[in-house]
Structure 1
Amino acid sequence: MASSIQSLTKREQINFLLTNRIPRRYLTFFIGWLSQIESPIFTKILIRVWQLFADDLRLQDAKKQRFSSLRECFTRQLKDGLRPVVKHPDTVTSPCDAVIGAYGKVDGTQVFQAKGFPYDISELIPDPRLHHKYRNGSFVTLRLKSSMYHRFHAPIDCSVSKITYISGDTWNVNPVALKRVEKLFCKNERAVIELQQDHPTSSITLVPVAAILVASMKFHFLKDTLDLKYQGPNQIPCYVDLKKGDEMGYFQHGSTIILFATSNYHFCDVIQLGAEIKMGQPLMSGHLSRFSKQY
Structure 2
Amino acid sequence: MTQRRSMPSLGEELNFLLTNRIPRRLATQFVGWLSKVEQPLVRDISIGVWRLFSRLDLSEAKKTKFVSMHDCFTRELKEGARPIDTDPDVLISPCDGIVGACGHVVDGRLYQAKGLTYRLDELVGDADFEKTYRNGCFVTLRLTASMYHRFHAPYDCTVEQVTAISGDTWNVNPIAVKRIEKLFCRNERAAIRTRLSTGSVVTLVPVAAILVASIRLHCLDLTLGMHYRGARRLACNAKLAKGEEMGWFEHGSTIIVFAPEGFALSPGIEEGATIRMGQPLLRLP
Instruction: Give TM-score scaled by structure 1 length.
Output: 0.92
- Cα distance, 1:214 vs. partner? 2.6
Instruction: Give me the whole-angstrom Cα distance separating, in 2, the residues matched to 1:133 and 1:163.
Output: 16
Question: AA paired with 1:76?
Answer: R
Distance of aligned partners of 1:241 and 1:128 in 2 relative to their CA distance in 1, 3 Å threshold: same
Q: Secondary structure at the match of 2:138?
A: strand
Instruction: Give me the whole-angstrom Cα distance separating, in 2, the residues matched to 1:161 and 1:286.
Output: 20
Match of 1:31 in 2: 31
- Cα distance, 1:45 vs. partner? 1.9
Superposition RMSD on alpha carbons, in Å? Answer: 1.4
Match of 1:291 in 2: none
Contact 1:40 1:67 in 2 (8 A): no
Matches within 5 A, 1:192-231: 192-200=191-199, 202-231=200-229
- Cα distance, 1:7 vs. partner? 8.5
Match of 1:246 in 2: 244
Match of 2:158 in 1: 159
Instruction: Give me the whole-angstrom Cα distance separating, in 2, the residues matched to 1:125 and 1:155.
Output: 20
Q: Which range moves more in the overlay, 226-235 or 40-49?
A: 40-49
Question: AA paired with 1:277?
Answer: I
Instruction: Give me the whole-angstrom Cα distance separating, in 2, the residues matched to 1:20 and 1:133.
Output: 33
- Cα distance, 1:127 vs. partner? 1.3
Contact 1:40 1:66 in 2 (8 A): no
Match of 2:112 in 1: 113
Give the one of 255, 259, 284 matched to 2:253: 255
Distance of aligned partners of 1:221 and 1:286 in 2 relative to their CA distance in 1, 3 Å threshold: closer
User: Unaligned regions of 5+ residues in structure 2, if any?
Assistant: none
Distance of aligned partners of 1:63 and 1:110 in 2 relative to their CA distance in 1, 3 Å threshold: same
Contact 2:156 2:197 in 1 (8 A): no
Instruction: Give me the whole-angstrom Cα distance separating, in 2, the residues matched to 1:159 and 1:100.
Output: 25
Instruction: Give me the whole-angstrom Cα distance separating, in 1, the residues matched to 2:41 and 2:182.
Output: 41
Contact 2:168 2:186 in 1 (8 A): yes
Instruction: Give me the whole-angstrom Cα distance separating, in 2, the residues matched to 1:278 and 1:199.
Output: 24
Match of 2:189 in 1: 190
Instruction: Give me the whole-angstrom Cα distance separating, in 1, the residues matched to 2:184 and 2:283.
Output: 26
- 4+ long deviations beyond 3 Å: 5-8
Match of 2:234 in 1: 236
- Cα distance, 1:6 vs. partner? 8.5
1:89 aligns with 2:81: no
Instruction: Give me the whole-angstrom Cα distance separating, in 2, the residues matched to 1:141 and 1:6.
Output: 23
1:139 aligns with 2:146: no
Match of 1:292 in 2: none
1:59 aligns with 2:58: yes
1:48 aligns with 2:41: no
Contact 1:214 1:255 in 2 (8 A): no
- Cα distance, 1:108 vs. partner? 1.1
Q: Deviations over 1:192-222 (max 9, x none)?
A: 011112434x321100000001311000121
Identity of aligned residues (%): 53
- Cα distance, 1:8 vs. partner? 4.9
Instruction: Give me the whole-angstrom Cα distance separating, in 2, the residues matched to 1:65 and 1:44.
Output: 13
- Cα distance, 1:132 vs. partner? 1.1
Instruction: Give me the whole-angstrom Cα distance separating, in 2, the residues matched to 1:125 and 1:29.
Output: 24
- Cα distance, 1:22 vs. partner? 0.6
